[in-house]
């Protein structure tokens, strides 16, 4: 990290504490043709690293902040009559179903927006079912392939310039928010989240409401 530009050091210094910092990045991406036991072993190893990461909760706050920004700038404009928001997420990591801060931050979002926020987590080992993985992330990776990512501005510009012939358009902005590490969520704080588990696998599927949440007509 000492060789990183100052603009990156300012916001990415938390990488020093990240458990994945010294790990080969290929551990977190499935190579072409990977299947069966080999894939299961790699994913299990990756999840074990994320599970002991000191900064995973920081990522949870950032993830909800990203949803909030999307709703404020795009969602409520495109869907002014919306009363509910559906979020699909991986089972593990910062926005996994075990993350306490993820649920607490979503509770704040529901209270602020008046939305019912329903979360459906992909079952463990099935995160690649997420269409975002294939429709967006893969295109971004191809677009910035071979480009030196020397500043936040370059990164944001390359993400925002990603397009496809089938109509993909990407909007990207730099989040300069501060996300402190070491945040702990108590049992009382977690219990205060107005979370209702669904009948089917309630640990993976649940709805969070807020004091301003509007009811939807049947």
Tens of pLDDT, residue by residue over 57-116, are 667 888 899 999 999 999 999 999 999 999 998 887 778 888 899 999 999 999 999 999
Average pLDDT over every residue of 30-55: 75
Please answer whether residues 110 and 192 qualify as being in contact, where contact means their C-beta atoms are separated by less than 8 angstroms.
no
Q: Is the dihedral of CA 89, 58, 207, 112 positive or negative?
A: negative
pLDDT tens digits along 154-184: 888 999 899 988 888 888 888 887 777 777 8
The 10s digit of each residue's pLDDT in 110-146 is: 999 999 999 999 887 777 677 777 788 888 888 888 7
Distance (Å, whole) CA 159 – CA 111: 31
Answer yes or no: is pLDDT of 211 > 50: yes
More confident residue, 139 or 3: 139
Question: Which pTM was predicted?
Answer: 0.69
- Hey, what are 127's tokens? 């995160």
Task: Assess whether pLDDT exceeds 80 at residue 4.
Answer: no
Residues 112 and 67: beta-carbon distance below 8 Å = no
pLDDT of residue 216: 43
């Amino acid at each position: 990290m000492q060789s990183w530009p100052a603009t990156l050091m300012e916001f990415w210094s938390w990488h020093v504490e990240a458990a994945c910092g010294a790990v080969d990045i290929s551990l977190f991406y499935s190579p072409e043709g990977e299947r069966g036991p080999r894939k299961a072993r790699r994913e299990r190893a990756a999840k074990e690293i994320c599970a002991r990461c000191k900064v995973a909760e920081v990522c949870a706050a950032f993830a909800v902040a990203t949803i909030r920004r999307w709703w404020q700038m795009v969602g409520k404009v495109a869907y002014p009559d919306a009363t509910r928001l559906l979020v699909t997420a991986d089972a593990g990591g910062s926005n996994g179903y075990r993350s306490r801060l993820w649920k607490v931050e979503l509770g704040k979002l529901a209270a602020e927006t008046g939305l019912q926020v329903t979360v459906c987590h992909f079952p463990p080992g099935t995160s690649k079912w997420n269409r975002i993985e294939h429709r967006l992330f893969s295109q971004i990776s191809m677009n910035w392939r071979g480009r030196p990512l020397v500043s936040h501005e370059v990164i944001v510009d390359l993400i925002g310039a990603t397009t496809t012939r089938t109509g993909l358009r990407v909007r990207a902005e730099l989040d300069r928010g501060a996300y402190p590490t070491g945040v702990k969520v108590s049992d009382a704080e977690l219990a205060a989240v107005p979370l209702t588990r669904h009948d089917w696998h309630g640990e993976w599927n649940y709805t969070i409401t807020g004091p301003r949440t509007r009811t939807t007509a049947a």
